[in-house]
Structure 1
Amino acid sequence: MDCNLLKPFPYSSLQRFLLADSGALEKDKCSGTGESAYWFCSVCYPGLAYRGFDNLTVHLSSEQHQFKVIKHPNQTGRTNCMNTFCHLLPQAEAVTLVFWDINTCPVPSSCDPRLVGPGIKRFLKNKGYSGPLTITAVGVLTDVPDNILRGVYSGGISLDNNHCGRSSVNYSVRDYTSANPPPAIIMVIGDPGVLLSISDLFSYKGGYKFLPYDSILSFLPADSGELEGDNCSETGESASCVCSDCCRGNVEKDFEKFSMHLSSRAHKRA
């Protein structure tokens, strides 16, 4: 049979390809089409093909995909598709990491910094994330008032001083995902620019669930008394302080010593 490969074959219905007796197809194998089927997500992975239906549903239900849909609605023509596959899978008890850009998303003046850690912990618990939790505030900590850092640290949040500014959280997430294979739940708190750069990172790193948030207020109840009974030390590991600028790898547990280091001549020369 001769055919023009450049000319399309228009059909308006799939009924043309289905037999009246579906039993006639029972012996046919789907793999007989040549290769197993692929799936594509042109929103997040344009031009890349993947296999596995379960992988597709995990991706479509991920917040990294939903974030892409919100940021690039013209790629889909509508944003309501973000809810199509929400909550298809049970929440895994995976390790949970929170990286908070404390410079682009500071503690509001009306907020007690000691409540941020317990607030994030309760928020994640209410969302069904029950795995080991570590929260780290990342950024140029010398630009944050000492009393804010002290309160954040006492609330169970680790501190990581990094002079890279808006890229600090990006580097922190890259370091973690390079050294630790999935699965893991990674929440990032920062302004939209920070979240978009992290979203691009997760577009080619599979197996991690990305939770983007652009406000600390999302984790704090209207009545701060609701968090008074929370034990800050239950955030997983005890909080620690690191200066990635000049003492990378050296962990300090004493906040006062860490604060003195940040104001020292040795740090300023680094």
Structure 2
Amino acid sequence: MMQNKLPAMKAGVFWDTDSSCYFPEKYDPCQVRQIIESAFKDFLPLTISAIGDLKRIPHSFLEPILSNGIFAKHCDSAHINIMMDMNSWRDNNAPPATIILISDREDVFEASGVLPSLRDLDYKTIVKPWKDLFSDSAPCNETTSKVVEEIAWVCDICIGSGLTFAGESFGSLIRHFDSVEHIYLEYKRLPYSVLKKKLLICEEEEYEEEDSSSLPKPTGVWWDIDTCLVPIEVDPYQVRQCIDSALKNHLPFTISAIGNLERLSSDLLEPILSSGIFMRHGKDGAVDILKDIDRWALNHSPPATIILISDREEVFLTKGFLPSLSDKGYTIIRAFQQHPKVPPKYASQTILWDYLLSAGYEVTNQETISTEIKEECSETAWVCHICIDSGRTFAGESYDSLTRHFKSVEHRNQAKAITMAKSQSEVSTNVKNQSMASGNTSDIYLLMV
């Protein structure tokens, strides 16, 4: 009689690359995933996250890590980020499940209480130093489990900056490390004593004498894709060009399209993504936009320009966020599908969305705009706000990876969990309001217990 095979328990591997990250000469770096899986073959399939200062890893080893479906996260404090990611993974993977730590710093994770608390919740925890993964025999030639489809990296230093912070390839990671924005944010996080040694303070006076008025002021564009749709008569491939043309006096700028991307057809989503517009999937509308603008403002002090394309004027006024930015010295430009009854006093300029798009067709210097767009397209990206705290892949560089993500079981489960949580919250609020109105507090007590 054949026995039914029990489903494999979920297992997550967290690799502390700051504690040790070397590769013996007799091993092929391209077999890094096979070596890890061979060491933990009783717990397959695995999700593997390499967390630490990725700049310390030689390119000859870093590229194989990314190409083998290992999720790489660049950060300052590996152990702190690993603890946070373990908790996120735990929240999305109920016991029985296994959490594996590859690190030489077991005492740090034990003393923090993270590993003991996981065991108390019936999770199996395994800690193994990196050097113990290698044996005298070479690793098997075949991969012992399915390689994760979505190759990805995340820069924790830039994740809250409103700039590109995630991608799918080794090439895009290296370009990110070389970008002015990333270098600036890394220097910004350094203690002053260290920063003073790295920078030539003696050049400060010479720098201040330069004419800063000729430098372009930082500009960010946020497009509420839920309320300001692309008209049928507009070619989706020219949306970026239209925005650039209508707002050419503020170039260069980044554009973030925020909203429920699952509502968009492929005929619209793919062209927008391929044009270099950064896309963020979420279902909280104005809240997601406000959070993103807030992160951007923290890294771009006034004078800077904020351009918001959205019809949710009442929400933005209620929050009072945009007027406060205007008071701080930011220039704010508003674009609407339809002009609000009361023009926003905080905005220096208002424009209709349809007019903004039509302006793109009147530009004569097409070559200049096309060149700027091409440069922006080198780091196209999408982010799924629904899955950003799930411990799973939540960002990428291509339309194909976005559609695969939307079809994944993990994304669907995450979306269902959020929908259920919101429904329960609404029910609780309604019952509470009705009970307060009727003077009956027994229903409120039942909700609390």
Q: Which TM bucket (shorter chain)? A: 0.5 to 0.7
TM-fit CA distance, 1:199: 8.2
The code of the aligned residue for 2:410 comes to A
Which of residues 236, 239, 248 in structure 2 aligns to 1:116? 239
Helix, strand or coil: the match of 1:98? strand
Aligned twin of 1:254: 398
After TM superposition, list the pairs within 5 Å mapping 1:83-232 onto structure 2: 93-125=216-248, 128-130=249-251, 132-193=252-313, 196-197=316-317, 200-205=320-325, 206-215=328-337, 216-221=353-358, 224=361, 226=363, 229=367, 230-231=369-370, 232=373
The code of the aligned residue for 1:138 comes to I
The code of the aligned residue for 1:266 comes to E
Helix, strand or coil: the match of 1:220? helix
Q: Is the 8 A contact 2:380 2:398 kept in 1?
A: no
Helix, strand or coil: the match of 1:188? strand
Q: Is the 8 A contact 2:246 2:359 kept in 1?
A: no
Aligned twin of 2:187: none
CA distance in structure 2 between the aligned counterparts of 1:266 and 1:199, rounded to whole angstroms? 33
TM-fit CA distance, 1:238: 3.1
Q: 1:99 to 1:133 in 2, by over 3 A?
A: same
After TM superposition, list the pairs within 5 Å mapping 1:24-63 onto structure 2: none
Q: 1:224 to 1:179 in 2, by over 3 A?
A: closer
TM-fit CA distance, 1:260: 1.4
CA distance in structure 2 between the aligned counterparts of 1:223 and 1:177, rounded to whole angstroms? 27
Helix, strand or coil: the match of 1:186? strand
Q: Is the 8 A contact 1:113 1:155 kept in 2?
A: no
TM-score normalised by the chain length of structure 1: 0.57
Deviation per CA, 1:131-186: give whole Å up to 9, x if none: x3100100111122222111111222111111213433222212322454333211
Percent identical residues: 24
Helix, strand or coil: the match of 2:334? strand
Q: Following superposition, which runs of at least 4 residues in structure 1 exceed 6 angstroms of deviation?
A: none
Q: Which runs of 5+ in 2 are unaligned?
A: 1-212, 338-352, 415-449
The code of the aligned residue for 1:101 comes to D
Deviation per CA, 1:200-255: give whole Å up to 9, x if none: 21222313211110143222237848586442224487321111221369541122
Aligned twin of 1:243: 384
The code of the aligned residue for 1:259 comes to T
Q: Is the 8 A contact 2:220 2:306 kept in 1?
A: yes
CA distance in structure 2 between the aligned counterparts of 1:209 and 1:198, rounded to whole angstroms? 19
After TM superposition, list the pairs within 5 Å mapping 1:74-89 onto structure 2: none
Helix, strand or coil: the match of 1:212? strand
Q: 1:250 to 1:269 in 2, by over 3 A?
A: closer
TM-fit CA distance, 1:191: 0.6
Q: Which has the higher contact order (CA 8 A, sep 6+)?
A: 1
Which of residues 370, 389, 411 in structure 2 aligns to 1:267? 411
Helix, strand or coil: the match of 1:260? helix
Number of matched pairs: 178
The code of the aligned residue for 2:332 comes to F
Aligned twin of 2:84: none
Aligned twin of 1:233: 374
RMSD: 3.0
